[in-house]
Structure 1
Amino acid sequence: VTSMQRSTTRSDWSKICDLTPRPHTPPVLADMSTTTLSLDEIHSLICDCLVANGCDDENAAAVARTIGGAERDGAAAHGLFRLPGYVASLRSGKVNGCARPTCDPLTLAALRMNGDDGFAPLAIETGIPMLAEAAHVTGLAVLLIRNSFHFAALWPEVEALAEQNLVGLACTVHTPMVAPFGARSAFFSTNPLAFAYPRPGQHPYVFDMATAAMSQGDIRVAARDGVPVAADVGVDADGNATSDAAAIDDGGVILPFGGFKGSAIATMIELLAAGVVGDAFSYEAGERDNRDGGPAKGGELIMALSPRLLAGSDWSEHSDGFLSRLEGMDGVRLPSARRFSRRSSPDGREVNTALLAEIRQLTT
């Protein structure tokens, strides 16, 4: 912990990620004005803010690539919106801003990464090349990440595997905010699951989804902006269904998507990302976290499969025939297609002006 990591006080910027229940008040429309920044400016903004609060250059750059990529792709809830939470965990001393992840090979096909109490992006970027090499040799390999703080989208890790013609699957847990099917109190986190299938010469088939009806980040963006959500997303503090995102966020709970089906998948993710990895289940992460407004420490499971080794040399043509037929059906749009379209734009990105001012204040 460096001298720049100082105690965090409760403030407006930390509340966007704080999990402490708060009494519900009617939503106040946020400042909806935006400021245009280039992708280079967004990257520099993130790095400068993190370094000013205790990160070294290597960790700051890894986080900037992750949440800067979300801004590039138009996924605001996983972009700069998350940066105040990263800062909160640095200022409280919970996260090691100078972490150096280390890898312990368990078998030829199983790698265990110790995140050194740092942010997950550097551990992921360190482990993915080793995971890919193992999968190309064995056909299937897993990377088990422990002792890290994941606070971003999951698609960067699975897309990195798809770029190497590998199938990628990743899952992680956080702290309780989702009620299991039939319950009205939180037990799961939003328990995201990401999957990528390579398509040489094209963007991969990718999905990255919460097993909750809506991700917490998207709910908090909706609450900030005064935008209603679907009535099946969550319940308020009294257990009543509501379309008021602020009521869900302020003492309510999120519901799993698809009822008992989403609840079953969330349970599977708990067992994979905590049980198999050997790190905290969501309820354990919630009990141990200092609630500083940032991420909680936990585990992540990343799996890589080689379709060339497992299916044979014609794997790409065979799979692409299926995906081409699927996307050619009337009314079908493959997941992540909109993200990839936004990614290709050379234009600057619109950033919430009030959020930008908060980040700049955190940097001074």
Structure 2
Amino acid sequence: MHRMSLEEAEVLAKAVLNAQGFNQEQTQALSQAVIAGQRDECHSHGLYRLLNCVKTLAAGKVVANAQPEVHDHAPGIVRVDAKGGFSQLAFEAGLPILTAKAREQGIAALAINHCVHFSALWVEIEAITDQGLVALACNPSHAWVAPAGGNRPLLGTNPLAFGWPRPNGQPPFIFDFATSAIARGDIELHHRENKPIPEGWGIDRLGQHSQNPADVLDGALLTFGGHKGSALSIMIELIAGPLIGDLTSAESLAYDDGAGASPYHGELILAMDPERFLGSTLEDYMARAEDLFSSIIAQGARLPSQRRYTARQRTQKEGISIPESLYQELSRLARL
């Protein structure tokens, strides 16, 4: 393993992106996303994802100097055309208007179109909860997942994320999970490390359950929870695809045309203002939410994201570790 500080990791990430041709705005947004993943020990969405960024650019499937266009579409809707760039910069462009609309209307939506996507949604969710707002986000991906009862990939990993702000400087309540049994990036990491995957993550090309990550990457992932995860995944296909005028996961994969690039599609983000909903009763009902969280912890259960926040405190002091092979690969890309 190769150890480095978060500052050193950020320098490396920016060096890779700059050397490969991304402009300063895209580089800044992308590096923040991968460093956030590495900082919180979400390894499949950390520095490893730089390899996907570079591969996607080399395949001609992302615009390295894209400048997002923001459209004030309706009283409760802001649209951002990512212009074929990665989603991070488009999100940053739309966030101020989304926040303002949510405070005015009580609820508002941000639709990002024509974006390339690779990152965890909790990074965006946390940016919204930092504003004291409740957040929900979802997006399709590539058709890598078989629907419940099916045996061929049709749905995306289709993540769903939610965030609830908490008082007194406490970290927000956030969950972010794929509607597949596991994120595809985790299977890719198992494949890189020549490790078998657990039963139930996926099937091979013949529709048979497999613990070989290569066979599953060539076959299909499965949804979590059988038909329930499948239904949620289909919902995400609809509300973050046709509803916002963008691609489904099958259409994203067809657009990729075998390039093996990151998915190209849209993203739907909702922001809700508790103060607008609750008015003078805000403190009372936010306190009730805290009672719920306390009751969960009192049973010995942990809240989603607690592991991430613990990892964040540790890595901010101690730095991070990545496989030496990954460090060498990134160093070559950075031309160090």
Same fold (TM over 0.5): yes
Matched residues in 2 for 1:83 and 1:47: separation? 10
User: Which SS does the other structure have where 2:89 is aligned?
Assistant: helix
Which among 84, 100, 103 is matched to residue 117 of structure 1?
84
* Structure-1 residue corresponding to 2:332: 361
Aligned length: 329
Instruction: Give TM-score, length-normalised by structure 1.
Output: 0.88
Matched residues in 1 for 2:104 and 2:229: separation? 34
- Asked if structure 1 preserves the Cα contact closer than 8 Å seen for 2:179 and 2:224, the reply is yes
* Structure-2 residue corresponding to 1:7: none
Which among 176, 189, 197 is matched to residue 229 of structure 1?
197
Matched residues in 2 for 1:103 and 1:290: separation? 29
Deviates more, 1:334-343 or 1:84-93: 84-93
- Asked if structure 2 preserves the Cα contact closer than 8 Å seen for 1:327 and 1:333, the reply is yes
User: Which SS does the other structure have where 1:298 is aligned?
Assistant: strand
Indicate whether 1:67 and 2:34 are aligned. yes
Matched residues in 1 for 2:121 and 2:74: separation? 25
Which among 278, 281, 284 is matched to residue 311 of structure 1?
278
Matched residues in 2 for 1:195 and 1:321: separation? 19
Q: Within 5 Å, give how 1:256-267 maps onto structure 2.
A: 256-267=223-234
The letter for the 2-side match of 1:335 is P
Deviates more, 1:103-112 or 1:226-235: 226-235
Note closer, same or farther for the CA distance 1:291–1:45 as it changes in structure 2 (3 Å cut): farther
* Structure-2 residue corresponding to 1:130: 97
User: Which SS does the other structure have where 1:130 is aligned?
Assistant: helix
User: Which SS does the other structure have where 2:231 is aligned?
Assistant: helix
1:308 Cα deviation from its structure 2 partner:
1.4
Instruction: Give TM-score, length-normalised by structure 2.
Output: 0.95
The letter for the 1-side match of 2:290 is D
Q: Within 5 Å, give how 1:18-167 maps onto structure 2.
A: 34-167=1-134
- Asked if structure 2 preserves the Cα contact closer than 8 Å seen for 1:171 and 1:193, the reply is yes
1:290 Cα deviation from its structure 2 partner:
4.0
- Asked if structure 2 preserves the Cα contact closer than 8 Å seen for 1:87 and 1:294, the reply is no
* Higher share in helix: 2
- Asked if structure 2 preserves the Cα contact closer than 8 Å seen for 1:115 and 1:123, the reply is yes
Matched residues in 1 for 2:196 and 2:150: separation? 23
The letter for the 1-side match of 2:21 is G
Which among 312, 327, 331 is matched to residue 343 of structure 1?
312
1:276 Cα deviation from its structure 2 partner:
1.4
User: Which SS does the other structure have where 2:70 is aligned?
Assistant: strand
Which among 159, 174, 179 is matched to residue 206 of structure 1?
174
Give per-residue Cα distances to partners, 1:227-283, cap 9 Å, x unaligned. 33221111122221122223212x221001011000000000001110211110011
Matched residues in 1 for 2:180 and 2:261: separation? 20
Matched residues in 1 for 2:296 and 2:13: separation? 39
Matched residues in 2 for 1:108 and 1:318: separation? 31
The letter for the 2-side match of 1:341 is T
Matched residues in 2 for 1:232 and 1:306: separation? 39
Matched residues in 2 for 1:154 and 1:287: separation? 24
The letter for the 1-side match of 2:132 is N
Q: Within 5 Å, give how 1:209-358 maps onto structure 2.
A: 209-249=177-217, 251-312=218-279, 313-314=282-283, 315-330=285-300, 332-345=301-314, 346-358=317-329
1:93 Cα deviation from its structure 2 partner:
2.8
- Asked if structure 1 preserves the Cα contact closer than 8 Å seen for 2:59 and 2:261, the reply is no
* Structure-2 residue corresponding to 1:22: none
Deviates more, 1:90-99 or 1:140-149: 90-99
1:348 Cα deviation from its structure 2 partner:
1.2
Deviates more, 1:229-238 or 1:272-281: 229-238
1:291 Cα deviation from its structure 2 partner:
3.5
Matched residues in 2 for 1:182 and 1:142: separation? 33
Matched residues in 2 for 1:151 and 1:166: separation? 24
The letter for the 2-side match of 1:362 is L
The letter for the 2-side match of 1:104 is H
1:311 Cα deviation from its structure 2 partner:
2.8
Return 5+ residue gaps in structure 2 as ranges.
none
The letter for the 1-side match of 2:128 is L
The letter for the 2-side match of 1:57 is Q
1:224 Cα deviation from its structure 2 partner:
1.7
- Asked if structure 2 preserves the Cα contact closer than 8 Å seen for 1:128 and 1:157, the reply is no
1:84 Cα deviation from its structure 2 partner:
1.2
* Structure-1 residue corresponding to 2:137: 170
User: Which SS does the other structure have where 2:136 is aligned?
Assistant: strand
- Asked if structure 2 preserves the Cα contact closer than 8 Å seen for 1:256 and 1:262, the reply is yes
User: Which SS does the other structure have where 2:268 is aligned?
Assistant: strand
The letter for the 1-side match of 2:176 is D
Matched residues in 2 for 1:37 and 1:128: separation? 31
Matched residues in 1 for 2:75 and 2:253: separation? 34
Matched residues in 1 for 2:107 and 2:245: separation? 20
